[in-house]
Chain A
Amino acid sequence: MAQYEAVIGLEVHVELKTNSKIFCPSSTGFGGDPNTHVCPVCLGLPGVLPVLNKDVLEYAIKVGLALNCGIAEFSKFDRKNYYYPDLPKNYQISQYDLPIAEHGYLDIRVEDSEKRVGITRVHMEEDAGKLVHQGNISTTPYSLVDYNRTGVPLVEIVSEPDLRTPEEARAYLEKMKAIIQYTGVSDCKMEEGSLRCDANISIRPVGSEKLGVKTEIKNMNSFKALQRALHYETERQTEVLEEGGRIVQETRTWDEARGITLSMRSKEQAHDYRYFPDPDLVPMVIDREWVKRVKAALPELPDQRKARYVSDYGLSDYDAAVITSTKELADYFEACLKEYSNAKAVGNWVMGDLSRLLNAGGVEITQCRIRPGQLAEMLVLMDKGTISGKIAKAVFEDMFETGRDPGEIISEKGLVQISDEGEIGAVVDDVLAANPKVVDDFRAGKDKALGFLVGQVMKVTRGKANPEMVNKMLKDRIK
């Protein structure tokens, strides 16, 4: 049986965070009442004239530069013709043969290997409206259309078919999201649809250079959905080939609930877009000085920031990559560092307990109740010996829940570490007296026995005894 490998390319759509739409002054605000953010231009009424929003062009240039693309000298808009009620004009204004940016790349890391993934192109286009179905798209009696989103600016970023596994595809999308968030041109919220992703996937025998027939997968609304859908589709295509069948080039939709991809009906795929230059929009001749200025104003991007964390703060590559994976997390980390300079300690808390609590509670770092200054304060209390590391974890959880200051939690709950020799000594003596057999074990060379004794002391002191002192005193007295 042949071993197959997947060949995957992604098309990522990103909504740009401008105030007004791409070709008209209607608001891009999310969540307005249906059909209230519309004007004659985005409704496609006859006789209107679309005019390009200059910030859209600048943002697209920014995205292109952040993805290491060349920026076009000359670029234009084209009409992509298709009949679908989410587009009131029956065409979408997009870019066909002269996109704003081409030939870039981004680097991903999967497990321990780095990989460079080619970016074919970045182009600007208008978003379509939103259709509301009753139940399912194929069974709904009719659909309702909200044109608020029509004309919201998008960039579409097309990758080379360089990805080989669902994990690489996910890493690519995560990196893409991070880079774009860093540039500040989009929120990249997958749940609100400001970051969307379609995948082209085919399989071929390992070692073969020839591409197989691809399918296009749509409707993957999370990183996990992307990964799952690509796993499913790889297996599905492999089964078809192994059973002697052939892959049909088609668009398939990911059904999240059932965990499968489904063929979309073929009528929908009667694609013949008949692109032609949009006569309403004049060409763009991109001023090189402008490109230079945009480039100079690019903020520090994830890879640069990661490198800085490794070189300046001595973080490991892995830690630096995790912390810089989103701009918000990295910003939080740096805000903590302003108040407490031990980067490794801050990094450990941010990557460890904080990330764990955020994930468990489904909380965004931007909504985190622990302010950077409060985390710093807690670390200072640990350094001073006021609380032990173990107590700190409990304090931290309380801070996460309530947003209170660590000092307040510690004094209210009576968590101050006991560092009084007399007080600890008394407990140590009791524990030794109560556990003669364990003491003998330790004398006989069973190091683990000490851990048990430490645990007993901690139990009596409700975790408040200074662990170093407990260790030392136990050892001293057993000798």
Chain B
Amino acid sequence: MLTIAEVDHVALLSRLDLSAEEKKLYGDQLSKILEYAKMLDELDTGDVPPTAHVLPLKNVYREDRVGDHLPLEKAMQNAPERDGNFFKVPRIV
């Protein structure tokens, strides 16, 4: 089971402000997910080298060429708020 402190930590990392009930609810749900994933521990992976990627691909590169940019209006389309050319965000610290 995840402790409340662990839930708090994950919530902080995700910038989520949770109520006491939500912490309990999500803590339980997260614990169940982790329990489920723990099944993988039952497999013997002693002979399996750690993998960096699930596909058998390597060395995929692009040439250093400049391509098209998004027009400003498109780029700003999903901005929660904007100020001229800029994305506008709440104070950070």
| Chain B residues close to A by CB (< 8 Å) | 9, 12-15, 52-55, 57-70, 72, 75-76, 78, 83-93
Contacts and interface: CB of A to CB of B under 8 A. Distances in A.
Interface in A266-297: 267-268, 270, 272, 274, 277, 279, 281-285
B77 to A, nearest CB: 10
Contact of A53 (B61, B85, B90, B91): B61
B85 A146 contact: yes
Nearest to B54: A279
B62 A283 contact: no
Contact of A52 (B14, B54, B60, B66): B60
A265 interface: yes
Contacts of A55: 63-64
A267 B64 CA distance: 39
Interface in A24-50: 24-27, 33-40, 43, 45
Contacts of A45: 78
A84 B92 contact: yes
Majority SS of interface residues in chain A? loop
Contacts of B9: 270, 272
B37 to A, nearest CB: 14
Contact of A83 (B15, B54, B65, B91): B15
B66 A19 contact: yes
B53 A51 contact: no
A20 B65 contact: yes
A38 B69 contact: yes
Interface of A: 18-20, 24-27, 33-40, 43, 45, 51-57, 74, 76, 81-85, 98, 131-132, 137-138, 140-147, 264-265, 267-268, 270, 272, 274, 277, 279, 281-285
21 contacts: A18-B64, A25-B66, A27-B66, A33-B85, A39-B67, A53-B64, A54-B61, A54-B62, A56-B64, A83-B14, A83-B15, A98-B52, A137-B92, A142-B89, A143-B90, A143-B91, A144-B87, A268-B92, A274-B13, A282-B58, A283-B58
Given A35-B72, A140-B91, A283-B52, 13 more contacts: A25-B62, A38-B69, A74-B52, A76-B53, A83-B13, A85-B92, A132-B86, A138-B93, A147-B75, A268-B93, A272-B9, A282-B57, A283-B59
B85 A40 contact: no
Nearest to A82: B13
